């Protein structure tokens, strides 16, 4: 299988930019707690720069990776070494990965070892099990098996609260899952090539992306969409703005979908509603939603949030 020796952080970041990696693949399935397909699309399209999450917990997790691998190797008699290569899929352009560790000289052939750290035992009990890892990690390993062509791998988790390294979760390639991963990766890159923007799911990060795609409103531009479910989003946004308390999430979701439909227009007309959008020089966005039969786009409600 094609692979590249990683010689510098700059080289590694460039490879990650050009490929859908193991930590990206869950995004394409809507299973990532960190990003959405729209934010990934904006990054791979060059609209935004990748911002890796980094805090004390993340840093500690990376620090503990060699410890977890060493303890697992001693317990099971496996030869486990830090991976130094970036692997590329043999047939799918733009699909690659970095492994945590290689398992060598095993009777099953070379394997993959992915190490994870969970700080709270309650979180482990909620999301993990004796033979179950969170979906994003299951997809990550299947992606890595597809890229490397290896026949097996493990996910091993350290629970910090108890100091316990849980039994390794062994996985073989699942052909149906791998086929779906390869299809989604190919379709994603086609959407980047065609500049076909994924639909937003409604996060603050997506609002920031749309502000970068459309940094200003085109004066007097009107977009009218006579059918579809945007009237429901307009109604939900209006209701959530009036209720205010506890409705921030719904308001953000509806706002993102309405903004994506309006693009850079000042007015979006959907069945039953007129959506007015104002954007200042700093990029802050204010939105008003009024019943279409008023004929007037009113002032934004006092509770309107901004996308800045």
**What's residue 293's pLDDT?**
62
Q: Where are the domains of the chain?
A: 3-193, 204-294
DSSP conformation letters of the chain:
--EEE---HHHHHHHHHHSB-TTTHHHHTT--SS--HHHHHHHHTTSS-------HHHHHHHHHHHHHHHHHHHHHT-EEEE--EEEE-SSSTTBEEE-SEEEES-TT-SEEEEEEEES-HHHHHHH-BTTB--HHHHHHHHHHHHHH--S-EEEEEEETTTTEEPPPEEE---HHHHHHHHHHHHHHHHHHHTT-PPPP---HHHHHHHHHH--SPPTT-EEE--SSSHHHHHHHHHHHHHH-TT-HHHHHHHHHHHHHHHTT-SEEEETTEEEEEEE-TT--EEEEEEEGGG-S--PPPTT-----
Please determine, for residue 136, whether its predicted confidence score (pLDDT) is greater than 50: yes
Angle between helices 135-148 and 175-193 (to 10 degrees): 90
Options 1.20.58.390, 3.40.50.300, 3.90.320.10, 3.10.20.600; CATH of 3-193: 3.90.320.10
Mean pLDDT of 284-293: 86
Q: What is the pLDDT of residue 282?
A: 83
Question: Would you say residue 112 has pLDDT above 80?
Answer: yes
> According to the model, what pLDDT value does residue 228 have?
80
Estimate the crossing angle of helix 37-44 against helix 175-193, to 10 degrees. 60
| pLDDT above 50 for 300 | no
The predicted structure's pLDDT at residue 115: 97
Phi, psi at 241, each rounded to 5°:
-70, -35
Of the listed ranges 77-91, 182-196, 201-215, 233-247, the least confidently predicted one is: 233-247
> Residue 292's pLDDT is what?
77
- What is the pLDDT, as a whole number, of residue 244? 67
Question: Tell me, what's the pLDDT at 255?
Answer: 94
The pLDDT-based confidence of 92 (bands split at 50, 70, 90) is very high
What is the mean predicted confidence (pLDDT) over 49-53?
75
Model confidence, pTM: 0.87
**pLDDT tens digit sequence for 197-238:** 999 999 999 999 999 999 999 999 999 998 888 999 999 998
């Amino acid at each position: 299988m094609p692979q590249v020796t990683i010689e510098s952080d700059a080289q590694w970041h460039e490879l990650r930019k050009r490929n859908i990696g193991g930590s990206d693949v869950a995004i394409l399935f809507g299973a990532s707690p960190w990003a959405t397909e729209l934010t990934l699309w904006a990054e791979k399209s060059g609209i935004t720069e990748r911002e890796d999450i980094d805090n004390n917990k993340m840093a500690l997790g990376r620090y503990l990776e060699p410890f977890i691998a060493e303890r697992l190797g001693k317990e099971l008699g496996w030869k486990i070494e830090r991976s130094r290569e970036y692997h590329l899929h043999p047939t799918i352009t733009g699909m690659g990965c970095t492994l945590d560790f290689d398992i060598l000289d095993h009777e099953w052939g070379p394997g993959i070892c992915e190490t994870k750290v969970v700080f709270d035992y309650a979180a482990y009990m909620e999301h993990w099990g004796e033979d179950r890892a969170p979906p994003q990690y299951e997809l990550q390993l299947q992606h890595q098996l597809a890229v490397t062509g290896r026949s097996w791998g493990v996910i091993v988790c350290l629970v910090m609260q108890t100091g316990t390294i849980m039994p390794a979760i062994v996985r073989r390639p699942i052909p149906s899952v791998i086929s779906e991963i390869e299809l989604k990766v190919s379709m994603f890159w086609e959407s980047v090539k065609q500049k076909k923007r994924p639909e937003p799911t409604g996060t603050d990060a997506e609002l920031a992306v749309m502000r970068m795609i459309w940094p200003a409103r085109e004066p007097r531009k009107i977009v009218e969409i006579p059918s579809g479910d945007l009237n429901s989003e307009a109604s939900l946004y209006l209701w959530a703005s009036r209720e205010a308390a506890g409705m921030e999430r719904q308001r953000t979701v509806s706002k993102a979908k309405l903004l994506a439909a309006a693009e850079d227009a000042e007015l979006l007309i959907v069945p039953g509603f007129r959506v007015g959008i104002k954007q200042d020089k700093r990029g802050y966005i204010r939105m008003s939603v009024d019943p279409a039969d008023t004929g007037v786009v009113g002032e934004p409600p006092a509770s309107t949030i901004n996308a800045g």
